[in-house]
Amino acid sequence: MSSSATNILVTGANGGLGLGICLRLIDSFLESRHATESLNIIYTTRSARKGSDTLKTLQAHLRKHYSLSQHKRITFQPENVELTDLLSIRELVRKVNLSDLTKLDAIICNAGIGGWIGLDWFAAIPAILADIRNATVWPFYKLGTIGAVTKPQLPDGSLTQPEPPLGEIFCANLFGHYMLVHWLMPLLRACESNTPGTIIWVSSVEPQNYHFKSDDLQGLQTDAPYEHGKRLTDLLALTSNQPATEKATASFTSTEGMKLQRHVRSVPTQYVYQPGIVVTSVISLYWIIQQAYLLGIYLARWAGSPWSTVKPYTAAHGAVWLALATEDEIRKAEIDAHAGELTNATAVAKRGRVKWGTAINRAGTTTVRPTEVDHWGLTGSGAAFASHWWGGKSGLGRKPGAVDAKPEDVKGFVALGAQAWEDMEQLRKDWERRIEESEQP
């Protein structure tokens, strides 16, 4: 692998958003980068068969749209991993670390499961009929499973103490990625200081403050474990550059004690993105219901919803932009998001991150826009929600009933984020200790 190649890892690429991200990475890279530059897409699926299917789709896309000379600029590296299995994650990391990769420019933490068991039709139907735009973007009528846990992570009898439960949805959507990213830190930190690695956490437009309970980190006691995990994702990513989280994030990005080292040149930057409302297999519905759901999201877009992206390729815009944009380009967008509150990059660096989202208009044209986050606002500034592109306080991109994040709300958000970082780091270390113990003769 050429040391100048851009290496991007995408999880969950057997279909849906992950496949859409891979396809859009190809197009955006070939359209925007110099002809001498190359891209290596490392994508993960749950099985070799699914990986092969994805490879055929990506290769067919290249053959259909690009010349042979352009084909040579794109390479694919299929890998298998089960993100609810920590030993599977570790095996992938060992393989990648032992490969000829010299660095990892970005990792897009996309894979996940919904964990829903159905819909409350008595709530869904009247809500959709009354306000299809908002009822499809913020669907409060989903029924989530409670207390789902993974299979045992370690062999029977390998620990002196019983293995604690690990939340299945929590592990698939967040903790599995958290371990993967930490264990790949030598490659992420091998990027040059002027082009640091990028960690892109995939969230959702839905989570609110009430979805997350700090005393239930893994979401085992809630009937909304998906939304709980996405709120936790927002807390971690948006506070990743705050002084209150510095100790925990330094621990997370540390490569100390890792066997396979690279030369440490930089610290990766963390971002969070939401793809809007996409029709994928993450929600399992009967065919006729799936078609009605698809039509409903299109109708919501025509009614003015900027988050009704529908198609995975369309929804991938935000993730691909974050993966390929320079730090200066993202920083400029952050300054713009502050809507005149800040005047330079240094000021932005001291303030809050932005939750980026793929927005779309009625004609199907996409842009990357800030997403309002409950108790954080657009930028964590504590400033009032101004008249932005979606039309101000009663605008189409804002959840009905949303209120401005006050300075005390932001302070509480940061404190909760700092606690979440400490809890996640402790959980990571606990599982690393168990894995090490299980391998003792």
The position carrying tokens 């604690």 is 164
> pLDDT confidence of 415, banded at 50, 70, 90?
very high
- List the domain boundaries for the chain: 6-438
- Could you confirm whether 43 is annotated as catalytic? no
Task: Give me the CATH code for the 6-438 domain, please.
Answer: 3.40.50.720
Residues 102/5, Cβ–Cβ less than 8 Å: no
| Residue among 230, 273, 311, 381 flagged as catalytic | 230
- Could you confirm whether 355 is annotated as catalytic? no
| Residue among 178, 226, 271, 273 flagged as catalytic | 226
Q: Is the pLDDT of residue 285 over 90?
A: no
| pLDDT tens-digit readout, 308-329 | 999 999 999 999 999 999 988 9
C-alpha to C-alpha distance for 58 and 36, rounded to whole angstroms:
21
**Is the CA virtual torsion 11, 17, 23, 29 positive or negative?**
negative
Beta carbons within 8 Å of 305's beta carbon, 6+ residues apart: 133, 134, 136, 137, 277, 396, 397
| Residue among 203, 305, 308, 381 flagged as catalytic | 203
Instruction: Work out the burial of residue 137: count CB atoms within 10 Å of its CB; fewer than 13 is exposed, 13-18 middle, 19 or more buried.
Output: buried
CA 385 from chain center: how many Å? 25
- Could you confirm whether 226 is annotated as catalytic? yes
What's the pTM?
Answer: 0.94
State the first-to-last Cα distance of the chain, in angstroms, to the nearest integer.
37
Q: Is the pLDDT of residue 196 over 60?
A: yes
**Average pLDDT score over the chain:** 89
Residues 8/108, Cβ–Cβ less than 8 Å: yes
> pLDDT confidence of 286, banded at 50, 70, 90?
low
C-alpha to C-alpha distance for 433 and 274, rounded to whole angstroms:
33
> Which is more confidently placed, 286 or 441?
441
C-alpha to C-alpha distance for 63 and 22, rounded to whole angstroms:
15
